[in-house]
Homo-oligomer: A and B are copies of this chain.
Amino acid sequence: MSNEENAGSERQLEVAILLFNGLTALDFVGPHMIFASAGMKVHLVSATPEPIVSDNGTVIVPNATFDDCPTRLDILFVPGGFVGETMCDSATLAFLADRGAKASYVTSVCNGSLVLAAAGLLDGYRSATHWATRGHLAQLGVEVSTERVCIDRNRMSGGGVTAGIDFGLTIVAHVFGDDVAKFCQLAAEYDPKPPFDAGIPEKAGPETVATFDKIMGEADVELQRAVSHVLEQRAMVS
């Protein structure tokens, strides 16, 4: 359950969450609930008003476009997923570069970091990303953090998918203080008890990692193609 009431602030803070085809819904739905529980106003922004389709087929309707999204945001947030196309989309990168330059916090979860990097917003910054995409982030010149939540000045990032919940609570604590973050945690009954201890490669073991690499092989090739495209564009400009 979440609540529209503002639990911690006088002015309602404004957040923009980037929506795009292929995103992982859990990457943004966790932070979204935390933001909303803390009383922030959340804009689900896409290039057009058309619905987007997540990586597993969930159809979500944006409530703002690049044109009508507020200019000055408190938090700009990019989730991950199948981000290759988005990393190479000039309208998306221009939107992010514009809002990112003015936002109080520039943030991501999972390999949403790659989209921020493609927009030039992580030059000279440290960032977390999904464990399987650390190599791609490094190729884009970003200092890769293996932390679950990474803070570098006004850049804040979470690791893969479920790290978004830890990220959301961390940023709410920064903005509103610990008490509001604890309220959000209680509302979401976030007292995790994973039935296994297999959430990172070091704990999951080589066989599970090999299964992941096999299943995600094609997605990885597509991601590498996007990284190479971004690097080529940069070389042409400089």
Contacts and interface: CB of A to CB of B under 8 A. Distances in A.
B185 A194 contact: yes
Contacts of A56: 2, 4, 32-33, 36, 42
A165 B29 CA distance: 13
Nearest to A159: B189
Given A60-B60, A130-B1, A208-B183, A194 B166 contact: yes
A57 B185 CA distance: 20
B215 A3 contact: yes
Contacts of A216: 1, 3, 187
B26 A33 contact: yes
Q: Which of A60, A63, A130 has the most CB of B within 10 A?
A: A60
Interface string A126-165: 0000111000000000000000110000000001111101
Interface string A75-107: 000001110000000000000000000000000
Given A1-B81, A44-B58, A196 B169 contact: yes
A30 to B, nearest CB: 6
A80 to B, nearest CB: 7
Interface of A: 1-5, 7, 24-26, 29-30, 32-33, 36, 42, 44, 51, 55-61, 63, 80-82, 110-111, 130-132, 148-149, 159-163, 165-166, 169-170, 173, 178-179, 181-183, 185-201, 203-204, 207-209, 211-212, 215-216, 219
A122 B111 CA distance: 41
The 7 closest A-B pairs by CB, nearest first: A160-B189, A191-B199, A182-B198, A59-B61, A192-B192, A36-B56, A190-B199
